[in-house]
Amino acid sequence: MRHLMNPMDLSIEELDDLMKVANDIEKNPSKYAHACDGKKLATLFYEPSTRTRLSHEAAMLNLGGSVLGFSEASSSSATKGESVSDTMRTISCYADICAMRHPKEGAPMVASIHSSIPVINAGDGGHQHPTQTLTDLLTIHTLKGRLDNMTIGLCGDLKFGRTVHSLIQSLTRYHGIKFVLISPEELRLPSYIRKDVIEENNIPYEEVITLEDALPELDILYMTRVQKERFFNEDDYLKMKDFYVLNKEKLKLAKDDMYVLHPLPRVNEISVDVDDDPRAAYFKQMQYGVYIRMALILFLLDIHVE
Ligand code: CP
């Protein structure tokens, strides 16, 4: 039995296969409509979500399965003091696979140890968000036709943004990647990613503060919101929240074939006047999130569709 805690749990070959299946699902959805008949997905969300929870649920429904779960800890027995491990033992009796989001780093890993069904980490604190990374990789691969030989700009909250941490880790496995880390001093990438992942793999990178300086060289711009929920005090958040705003005017500095990605939700960091630019890929990215999660559910349940 396999779980997905970290995107690096998948080999490059497995990742390639998942992307092939996801592309096939996009083209031939009816082929997959009964692949999970009789199977159940449980979504255990101890932290708010729109895309991750609902796209997992849409993925299972598209495959012919059904869904159950909770969307906030307050409606579960966590409020009575039940541990994640006991909750997981319970859910193992009710479902065939589960997706868990939790504010505590490592909680889905603890759940997986006590689970008899595959567990998908749907985001744990500021740590990892592997299904978002699968979504990001599928989006880049589908739009650019490759995952290598690219300059990737990551902009915004690189300190708390778990999607950034997972994406950087995954992209270090491809040739010719360069990172441009665009953030204020206060929200720089943690050294356990900069040193232990980027430098350890000899990946070229630069750290800059100004988005306009970085834009002309980028093939992908990955915008992120400032993670309000991870700040200890409101004033620090307010100082940072509008540090970057990508608008139509700034986008003129970018290449014609650069794409803007964002895991969403956005707050102010991408102006709505960017939405109709052909380089704005963040809404397509959400749709790719359903296809790749369908492919992932099939993979973890060991279901093969001819
Ligand atoms: N991208 C993402 O994780 O969005 P949600 O918080 O809405 O799930």
Residue 149 φ/ψ region, left for φ over 0, alpha for ψ in the -120 to 50 degree band, beta for the rest: left
Look at 4-18, 156-170, 290-304 and tell me which has the smallest mean pLDDT. Answer: 156-170
Residue 129 a catalytic site member: yes
Examine the residue annotation and report whether 194 is marked as an active-site residue of this protein: no
Under CATH, to which class is 7-128+288-300 assigned?
alpha beta
Q: What is the pLDDT of residues 121-130, one digit of tens each?
A: 999 988 899 9
Q: Residue of the nearest CA to atom 7 in ligand 1?
A: 50
Please, what is the average pLDDT of the chain? 95
For residue 173, report the phi and psi dihedrals to the nearest 5 degrees: -85, -5
Closest approach atom of ligand 1 to CA 54: 8
Domain 130-285 of CATH type 3.40.50.1370: yes
Confidence at residue 120, expressed as pLDDT on a 0 to 100 scale: 98
Catalytic residue among 101, 159, 225, 262: 101
Same CATH topology for 7-128+288-300 and 130-285: the answer is: yes
Indicate if ligand 1 lies below 6 Å from the C-beta of 264: yes
For residue 115, the model assigns a pLDDT of 98
153 lines ligand 1 (CB under 6 A): no
What is the C-alpha to C-alpha distance for residues 141 and 293, in angstroms, rounded to an integer? 16
Residue 282's CB is within 10 A of a number of other CB atoms, namely: 19
Atom of ligand 1 minimally distant from the CA of 52: 8
Looking at 39, 56, 102, 129, which residue is catalytic? 129
Distance 283 CA to ligand 1 centre (A): 13
- pTM, two decimal places: 0.95
Whether residue 265 has its Cβ less than 6 Å from ligand 1: yes
Three-state SS string over the chain comes to CCCECCHHHCCHHHHHHHHHHHHHHHHCHHHHCCCCCCCEEEEEECCCCCHHHHHHHHHHHHCCCEEEEECCHHHCHHHHCCCHHHHHHHHHHHCCEEEEEECCCCHHHHHHHCCCCCEEEEEECCCECHHHHHHHHHHHHHHHCCCCCEEEEEECCCCCCHHHHHHHHHHCCCCCEEEEEECCHHHCCCHHHHHHHHHCCCCCEEEECCHHHHHHHCCEEEECCCCHHHCCCHHHHHHHCCCCCECHHHHCCCCCCCEEECCCCCCCCECHHHCCCCCECHHHHHHHHHHHHHHHHHHHCCCCCC
Q: What are phi and psi of 248, to 5 degrees?
A: -55, -40
Range name among 20-34, 91-105, 240-254, 278-292 with the lowest pLDDT average: 240-254
Span 193-204, mean pLDDT? 96
Ligand 1 close to Cβ of residue 51 (< 6 A): yes
State yes or no: pLDDT of 160 exceeds 90.
no
pLDDT confidence of residue 227: 78
| Range 184-200 average pLDDT | 94
Q: Domain locations in the chain?
A: 7-128+288-300, 130-285
- Cβ of residue 161 lying under 6 Å from some atom of ligand 1: no
